[in-house]
A and B are shown apart, each in its own frame.
Chain A
């Protein structure tokens, strides 16, 4: 099938797929009800170009901007990369998972390509800043060459009240290693669909650190596709809700080859009348023997109006595996509070301490400046709770 046919095909599927799933199955329920008028803008977006952004690597409303040269790293629009035959058109597509994924793949109007060559090694982070202030639908490709070892810090900030769809395919090379820090701040958006799909060949290693401040309707998808054997992936994520945020977050790990390893750990702190649905999905194919896959989700509810759903799904098609998941939903334990207060801590400080302890496993591996910034937000949530 040619590129234009595939694109057309995706458009047709996007139109056909219902926004809501099968309502009568407890496991298939769609958690975020989207109205047609909310989805529609994403099918009719325009390229806006950059608004004078000049940082390390930046995109604005999905369009790649100029950047300060970073040696061997390539950075240009997807269009240009296709024209120069640096990527193949089809690389932009992945499996279609649901309506929003089909809309992103079928109707994107812009996108950035970042190419990191083989054998590239850098201790310093590659910083990517994505900003947006109007409706956009973009699809990006990051390619990491074989044998390279990279750290990427990606900031994603939406400043305008807009509907956005931002998908990225990250294609890793054999035996490459990626530390991916993703700071998602979409609190100002109306509807946001943020997707990161990682294609992992053999011996690749991936560490995802995801901190998120969702908007009123935020759908975030992390899809880790372990195509090659001995792939290793970790996801550590935390979400903070303090007002009326709604996040529908899915971390999907697909083990397609033997000897895969995966560890997913998620913490949600919910204040105000925010709500979260966390779906951890582990799929182990029949040939993915000797796979270990773990999933842990903890949700902390701070207010009476907060709601948390956790849906850990395991789909396992062979017997030579170890797979586990665990999840908890609770509020701050009165016992712990009392203990700290009896040691002379003010109630507010005690609460803060407990919450900091709760998110510590996610925050502690982060670089200190990011961790501090996030802890400030945690404090803010506690003050408002």
Chain B
């Protein structure tokens, strides 16, 4: 049996290192028309993309910072460096990657993971992808997995057809910002009928302070395709903040199945404001799995628009808010076709004064008859000064729909702790065990490698709380 207090081999400092890499290219601070034109020029983009960017800039400038949720007014858009290019070349073999960059990802365990169990991976440092690889057997079947900038050069027609359709710049201020200054991200295309048994992974790393990472991810699963996409994110700790505002668009076409797992372990100075959304067509299945450990402020609400009959979606979410952290997580589901179904499970833990929020939208449109939806959100508060809020928003516009929602907030039951202690388990371990049990529904859906890491990180966070864990 694995020792429960075995956390020596893992600590958060694993991610807390800075590699001195002299960027190949970097823009100045602040955002304006010239910056957009400069980014577009450096990337040698087609004219239409530049126009999309410029239009998005106008939307960005015209929208106010949202006043609901956590206070993000500290973001000073004039102080952020929007584009940092670490390396001129893009590699598809780790041996071609310059040593210092390679070391960064070696430390994070990315190449090792790729060898072990991935079908392909993309690695991004700052604003650009530095490495991408898809194993030959999948490339032969027509699967494309590369960084978004290269994809724009190689498959401009596909990008033009799908870019910004699901998340238009007008959606929200940060989607507009991303559309204006996007760089990097991954492009994944799975042709008709191809079922990928092994997952693919994108790893995003931010290295500096007062910088922004604005990756743009586009996933297209053609009819009958299936894929599991994993996203991992880390950054070192600084005293000043950095901004991460990604946009993810997923097309799950007829009969396809897409699972999007994201394990976010940002350091405590990152403000994380991504917009993630999927269009789910007839009989397709979209699964969002999200583990959110770090960051200073996170606002993320992965959404699924169920557009075709019998489409389904699930959204599993785990968030840990310890210390001066505000986790604003949730899910959005729109049932726009008959016989669609959705399930949302959100679990959050707050300790040491942390704030965890569930904020969700579930809408069953008129005519989406016989749709079924359930939302469950549970929160665990570990001490007296931590907080948890729940704002589920449900709009049921069809009488034949069936909908249920459940939420609970509570603390670790002393009875359970006593029970475990009477069986010879130390109090600290008993508490960790109960917390892991609380998260079990979601943790078992996270790939094994991540799940182990996640378990250890939670134990580490718990052990930091002293008396509590």
Contacts and interface: CB of A to CB of B under 8 A. Distances in A.
A331 B404 CA distance: 12
A68 interface: no
B409 A326 contact: no
B411 A28 contact: no
Interface stretch (A104-112, A192-200, A232-240, A308-316): A308-316
Contacts of A29: 393
A319 B383 contact: yes
B408 A316 contact: no
Contacts of B400: 331
A268 to B, nearest CB: 11
B409 A314 contact: yes
A344 interface: no
A328 B403 contact: yes
B394 A323 contact: no
A192 B409 CA distance: 34
A23 to B, nearest CB: 10
Interface residues of A, number: 40
A302 B399 CA distance: 7
A95 B132 CA distance: 58
Contact of B393 (A311, A320, A321): A311
B407 A27 contact: no
Contact of A25 (B68, B384, B401, B409): B68
A322 interface: yes
A26 B384 contact: no
Given A323-B410, A325-B407, A326-B405, A308 B396 contact: yes
Contacts of A331: 399-402
A314 B357 CA distance: 9
B395 interface: yes
A309 B390 CA distance: 16
B391 A323 contact: no
A330 interface: yes
B384 A286 contact: yes
Interface residues of B, number: 43
B402 A330 contact: yes
Contact of A316 (B172, B387, B403): B387
A324 interface: yes
A321 B396 CA distance: 30
Interface string B50-87: 00000000000000001111000000000000000000
A328 B385 CA distance: 32
A212 to B, nearest CB: 20
Given A25-B66, A26-B361, A27-B68, A321 B381 contact: yes
Contacts of B68: 22, 24-25, 27-28
A321 B384 CA distance: 9
A310 B410 contact: no
Interface in B368-421: 379, 381-411
Contacts of A310: 394, 396, 405
Nearest to B379: A316
A301 B384 contact: no
B360 interface: yes
B332 interface: yes
B259 interface: no
Contact of A322 (B67, B387, B410): B410
A319 B397 contact: no
A22 B67 contact: yes
B359 interface: yes
A301 B388 contact: no
A304 B407 CA distance: 28
Contact of A314 (B172, B301, B389, B403): B389
A127 interface: no
Nearest to A29: B393
Interface in B407-437: 407-411
Contact of A320 (B360, B384, B387, B404): B384
A329 interface: yes
A320 B383 CA distance: 7
Contacts of B406: 324-327
Contacts of B360: 26
Contacts, number: 134
Interface in A1-54: 22, 24-29
A324 B332 CA distance: 21
B399 A27 contact: no
Contacts of B398: 304
Given A286-B385, A303-B399, A320-B411, A326 B404 contact: yes
A365 B386 CA distance: 38
A289 interface: yes
Contacts of A303: 399
A310 B407 CA distance: 13
Interface string A325-343: 1111111000000000000
Contact of B407 (A302, A314, A317, A330): A314
A304 B360 CA distance: 25
Contacts of B407: 312, 314, 324-326
Given A326-B406, A330-B402, A330-B403, A319 B394 contact: no
Given A320-B411, A323-B410, A307 B396 contact: yes
Given A26-B361, A326-B404, A330-B401, A316 B409 contact: yes
Nearest to A318: B384
A301 B396 contact: yes
B467 to A, nearest CB: 13
A95 B224 CA distance: 57
B69 A25 contact: yes
Given A26-B360, A312-B390, A316-B387, A328 B399 contact: no
A299 B359 contact: no
A306 interface: yes
Given A25-B66, A301-B396, A309-B395, A324 B401 contact: no
Contacts of B409: 314, 316, 321-324
Interface string B210-253: 00000000000000000000000000000000000000000000
Interface string B323-361: 000000010100000000000000000000000000111
A302 B400 CA distance: 9
B66 A307 contact: no
B410 A329 contact: no
Contacts of A317: 385, 387
A307 B397 contact: yes
B103 to A, nearest CB: 42
Contacts of A289: 384
Interface in A281-305: 286, 289, 299, 301-304
Nearest to B399: A301
B386 A319 contact: yes
Contacts of A323: 408-410
Contacts of A302: 399
A28 B393 CA distance: 9
Contacts of B394: 309-311, 327, 329
A25 B64 CA distance: 13
Interface of B: 66-69, 172, 301, 330, 332, 359-361, 379, 381-411
26 contacts: A22-B68, A24-B68, A25-B66, A26-B361, A26-B391, A27-B393, A286-B385, A299-B396, A307-B396, A309-B394, A313-B390, A316-B387, A317-B385, A317-B387, A318-B384, A321-B381, A325-B406, A325-B407, A325-B408, A326-B407, A327-B403, A327-B404, A328-B405, A329-B396, A329-B403, A331-B400
Given A24-B66, A307-B397, A312-B405, 4 more contacts: A311-B392, A315-B390, A321-B410, A325-B406
Closest 10 CB pairs of A and B: A27-B391, A319-B381, A25-B68, A301-B399, A314-B390, A26-B361, A329-B396, A329-B403, A323-B409, A26-B393
